Amino acid sequence: MFAQLVGQQQAVNLLSQTVIKNRVAPAYLFVGPDGVGRSLAARCFVELLFAPHQNRLRQDNHPDLLWVQPTYLHQGERLSAAVAADKGLKRKAPPVIRLEQIREITQFLSRSPLLASRKVVVLEQAETMAEAAANALLKTLEEPGQATLILIAPTLESLLPTLVSRCQRIPFYHLDTVTMAQVLTQTGHENILQYPAVLKIAAGSPGEAIASYQQLQAIPRELLLAVTKVPSSYREALDLAKQIDKAIDTEAQLWLVDYLQQFYWQQLRQPSIINQLEKAKQSLLYYAQPRLVWECTFLSLVNPLPYTG
């Protein structure tokens, strides 16, 4: 069941042994970088837990499984990132796991399993929980009943220590270059290997490489060509900032900063440009007005004209 999970043998062994020895814990923390197989491992683990009971019933429809993802709030409706993207919504802040979703978990676990011996709840991007949601989840972890909860997060520090202490940790790691290429080739994404900046951003994460490549393709080609050249005038800098603000949302702009840092470093090796872009990233993360952020960034990159007075 773990055949598709490449490069995470320690996680495979730990999870397999818990089932073989009938020592399944009430809660697990799948901790490691994004895009290296944590969600895939969760699906494989759920399949292993449900195997004796599911009679080939699809996981997505299994009555004893609840899969929780961060959501946006749009006109009173909670939307996952995928749904928001399909609807073309321009997002100003990243999605989060909300208190209401934790309450739904509590309600879900209050009922006995229907087909399996236990219920399973998976929380993707558990680090996006606000403190109120995390504290509500803590009460559930203290008395999970006939259930196993799987929290997926990038680091131990990204969660409340009280949550971490109640979970069995399953570590996941960045893939080496060879394994990375193997996964991208096996999944039909070998063309990504031709983009060094994308691979640098991914840092050993196939999922991040695929997501970054998709971001790259979504940015208008003319705009991408323009931003990969240092602006030569103040007017060009201001116009470029306007184009970015109009063409792509804030999340895509954050990715663009990472891409430009990698691109400019490979092309120019100038720390000053990288530092300016890092300041832009921090400003965007603190919800500064995007157009103003890009204006300040590109203006700082313009080579001042020599004084001729």
CA gyration radius, the chain: 22
Q: What is the CATH number of the domain that holds 47?
A: 3.40.50.300
In a domain, 306, yes or no: no
In a domain, 16, yes or no: yes
Residue ranges of alpha helices (H) inside the chain are: 9-20, 38-54, 81-86, 99-109, 131-142, 161-164, 177-186, 196-202, 206-218, 221-227, 234-247, 250-267, 271-285, 290-301
Q: In whole angstroms, give the CA distance from residue 163 to residue 161.
A: 5
Q: In whole angstroms, give the CA distance from residue 56 to residue 72.
A: 33
Identify the domain containing residue 141 by its residue range: 9-171
- The total domain count for the chain is 2
Domain end point (choices 136, 171, 206): 171
**Shared domain check, 91 and 77:** yes
DSSP 93: S
Q: In whole angstroms, give the CA distance from residue 112 to residue 164.
A: 26
**Shared domain check, 163 and 189:** no
**Shared domain check, 157 and 100:** yes
pLDDT of the chain, 309 residues: tens digit per residue: 787 899 999 999 999 999 999 999 999 999 999 999 999 999 999 999 988 655 444 556 789 999 999 998 877 778 877 777 777 776 667 889 999 999 999 999 999 999 888 999 999 999 999 889 999 999 899 888 889 999 999 999 999 999 999 999 999 999 999 999 999 999 999 999 999 889 988 999 999 999 999 988 888 899 999 998 888 899 999 999 999 999 988 888 999 999 999 888 888 788 888 999 999 999 998 888 999 999 999 998 886 444 444
Q: In whole angstroms, give the CA distance from residue 210 to residue 198.
A: 9
Query: In whole angstroms, how far apart are CA 134 and each of 70, 141, 149, 239, 261?
Result: 13, 10, 13, 43, 34
**Shared domain check, 127 and 241:** no
